[in-house]
Amino acid sequence: MCGIVGILGNEPVAGKLVDALKRLEYRGYDSSGVATIEEGQLDRRRAEGKLHNLETRLSNEPLRGRLGIGHTRWATHGAPTETNAHPHMTERVSIVHNGIIENFKQLRRELESEGAELVTDTDTEVIAHLVTREMDAGHDPAIAVLHTLRMLEGAFALAFIFKDHDDLMIAARQGSPLAVGFGDGEMYLGSDAIALAPFTDTITYLEDGDWAVLTRDGVAIRDSEGAAVDRPVQKSVASALMVDKGNHRHFMAKEIHEQPEVVGHTLASYIDFANLKVQMPDMPFDFASLQRISISACGTAYYAGLIAKYWFEKLARLPVEIDVASEFRYRNVPLEAGGLSLFISQSGETADTLAAMRYCREQEQHIASIVNVRESSIARDSDVVLPTLAGPEIGVASTKAFTCQLAVLACIAVSAARARGTMSEETEAEFVTALSEVPRHMSAILREEGLYDSLAHSLAKASDVLYLGRGVNYPVALEGALKLKEISYIHAEGYAAGELKHGPIALIDESVPVVVVAPRDEMFEKMVSNVQEAAARGGRIVFLSDAEESDVGCDVMTSLKIPQIHNFTTPLIYALPMQLIAYHTAVFMGTDVDQPRNLAKSVTVE
């Protein structure tokens, strides 16, 4: 993820900006920069590589402004060069950005047709020119930013400073976190409270859609309609070592809400958004010559692998052998030497998964792993590591790691399909575009979180809950059931919807909620039949779909509208309602959401 800092100070800020950026190094980056305002004049210093290169640049060419912004960049659009490093600027405004602007290409074409000269490969520079165009049209900085925000599609956090404005900083948040810090006659901005810890522990977090106008006297926060809003001011407990909950009640809630940002960041590691192509690291095998892939993992990570099975087999025509690691390791699976074995693990320390890896190593497999902890045992024992960039996942129930695993697996599936000649360049661009829209759709679902409270009260009274899905969303139903049972302790089972009539339908009566994952894909009509079968037996239907409730043709207890999206990305999007249903039910029931009974975050024993 990129890191953003801003300081409205009473002394030169360049050194303090760099200190704050150092506390964001954990997010990963490949270039950095700062911009300041001195006597109304904008100026900046940027450098490739690590922050000490920026410090060298600043010691040779100091900046003395008392207002400034800083950035550590993880390249998404354009190579990690100094030219592409933030802050980006025009004569009138300088900006730093964390996230993805999906519609930057058409905005860039529009600006260039009007004579604007853009000099970088980034989506961010487009925003600087849009704000400038609004200011050239006579609008003040705040209105110029508001108008610009309405043109942007994607998930982002932004900070702006302006020529001739020595006491003004503007910030905006849409999907990527941004904190405002309160000092003594100073004000601060940071991607998280850790960045602000050297200056203040009094902070407030912007919510999705918020934008904020900061002066040294304070901050005015407004929503996307321009109406003033209040956000709670709190004491942060962040330190270089601790990860705090932000303004969330539980780590699980914070991690659910981090998904637009961390999924976008993970995708950016494997996608060239400018050219709509997947770009995987070099691997010691060729997908074109593989006979099959074996996948092994546990729990939620296993469900990610199950989803990947549908993608690999359908898109790349590549057979997949998959099993939970605790079974896989004892089955003596026959594997042809030189094959690929893929292991998925958030912690990278799960004993069963490690044991399955050892078996595959003995079978002379190429070992690849998708892990969230880069220095973990599973990573160390792999030939290829494909990291998820979810950041620390503290809640025992896995959420952001799961969707980041899916992001990596989706990229692998497209890459394999291209290598095996089963996907055209045009289809790759279509699928990559769909992936680039995932953070925005996730943000849209999270903005509707209030809908899950009343549903939670209904589910909390149940003793059994069924989850139904078909095709690539059958494992999503399995994951939904696991989420509910592991944090609310309510018995829940996921089933392939077509399997209902082969036994599970005997379970259904008026006391049984049936959660249905039903995007309007090629199996939607089949799913509707299954819903009607369940409803006819009294099942209380919770219908999750982009389709209308009226399309179901029977009574439903609750209908949750999901954005209409590309079928390829439905598992990443429908994972969020699965998480929110479980979370709000558990909160209503008063269980220990972050540390549920009997469970450990990493199961390092057999």
Return residues touching ligand AGP (CB under 6 A): 298-301, 345-347, 350, 353, 396-398, 486, 602-603
Nearer to ligand AGP, 107 or 357 (CB): 357
In angstroms, what is the minimal distance from the CB of 442 to ligand AGP?
18
Structure tokens at 522: 């090629």
Nearer to ligand AGP, 390 or 496 (CB): 390
State the Cα–Cα distance between residues 47 and 61, nearest whole angstrom: 12
In angstroms, what is the minimal distance from the CB of 482 to ligand AGP?
6
* Coil, helix or strand at residue 97: strand
Nearer to ligand AGP, 398 or 473 (CB): 398
> Which residue, among 250, 207, 190, has the nearest Cα to 27 in the 3D structure?
190
554 catalytically annotated: no
Nearer to ligand AGP, 269 or 353 (CB): 353
Q: Are strands 41-48 and 540-545 parallel, antiparallel or unpaired?
A: unpaired
In angstroms, what is the minimal distance from the CB of 583 to ligand AGP?
12
Q: Are strands 340-345 and 464-469 parallel, antiparallel or unpaired?
A: unpaired
Point out which residues pair with 404 in neighbouring strands.
Answer: none
In angstroms, what is the minimal distance from the CB of 344 to ligand AGP?
7
Nearer to ligand AGP, 84 or 388 (CB): 388
Structure tokens at 437: 């829209």
In angstroms, what is the minimal distance from the CB of 185 to ligand AGP?
46
Nearer to ligand AGP, 353 or 569 (CB): 353
What's the DSSP call for residue 235? E
State the Cα–Cα distance between residues 456 and 325, nearest whole angstrom: 32
Nearer to ligand AGP, 196 or 379 (CB): 379
State the Cα–Cα distance between residues 303 and 482, nearest whole angstrom: 10
Handedness of CA 13, 14, 16, 21 (dihedral sign): positive
In angstroms, what is the minimal distance from the CB of 597 to ligand AGP?
13
Nearer to ligand AGP, 527 or 578 (CB): 578
CA 588 distance to own-chain centroid: 26
Nearer to ligand AGP, 298 or 505 (CB): 298
CB-side neighbour CA atoms (13 Å) of 150: 10
Nearer to ligand AGP, 398 or 559 (CB): 398
Choosing from 2, 298, 404, 411, the catalytic residue is 2
Is there a contact between 542 and 560 (Cβ–Cβ < 8 Å)? yes
105 catalytically annotated: no
> Which residues touch 18 (CB under 8 Å, ≥6 apart)?
32, 34, 51, 54, 55, 58, 70
Is there a contact between 347 and 601 (Cβ–Cβ < 8 Å)? yes
State the Cα–Cα distance between residues 184 and 290, nearest whole angstrom: 62
In angstroms, what is the minimal distance from the CB of 392 to ligand AGP?
13
Is there a contact between 318 and 293 (Cβ–Cβ < 8 Å)? yes
Helix and strand counts by DSSP (H, E) for the chain: 19, 26
Point out which residues pair with 46 in neighbouring strands.
Answer: 33
State the Cα–Cα distance between residues 174 and 159, nearest whole angstrom: 12
Angle at 77 between CA 75 and CA 83, to 5 degrees: 75
Structure tokens at 459: 């589910």
Neighbours of 593 (CB within 10 A): 23
Structure tokens at 5: 């800092």
In angstroms, what is the minimal distance from the CB of 329 to ligand AGP?
13
State the Cα–Cα distance between residues 399 and 572, nearest whole angstrom: 11
Q: Which residue is nearest to ligand AGP (CB)?
A: 299
**Cα-flanking dihedrals φ and ψ of residue 171, to 5°?**
-130, 155
Which run of H or E residues covers position 457?
Answer: helix 451-460
Nearer to ligand AGP, 48 or 486 (CB): 486
Q: Are strands 513-517 and 540-545 parallel, antiparallel or unpaired?
A: parallel
Which run of H or E residues covers position 459?
Answer: helix 451-460
Nearer to ligand AGP, 182 or 251 (CB): 251
Choosing from 105, 277, 526, 601, the catalytic residue is 601
State the Cα–Cα distance between residues 108 and 129, nearest whole angstrom: 9
In angstroms, what is the minimal distance from the CB of 603 to ligand AGP?
5
In angstroms, what is the minimal distance from the CB of 478 to ligand AGP?
11
Point out which residues pair with 65 in neighbouring strands.
Answer: none
Instruction: Report which residue type is found at 242.
Output: M
Q: Are strands 384-385 and 491-496 parallel, antiparallel or unpaired?
A: unpaired
Is there a contact between 85 and 46 (Cβ–Cβ < 8 Å)? yes
In angstroms, what is the minimal distance from the CB of 255 to ligand AGP?
11
In angstroms, what is the minimal distance from the CB of 102 to ligand AGP?
30
> Which residue, among 474, 453, 479, has the nearest Cα to 526 in the 3D structure?
474
Catalytic residue positions?
A: 2, 601
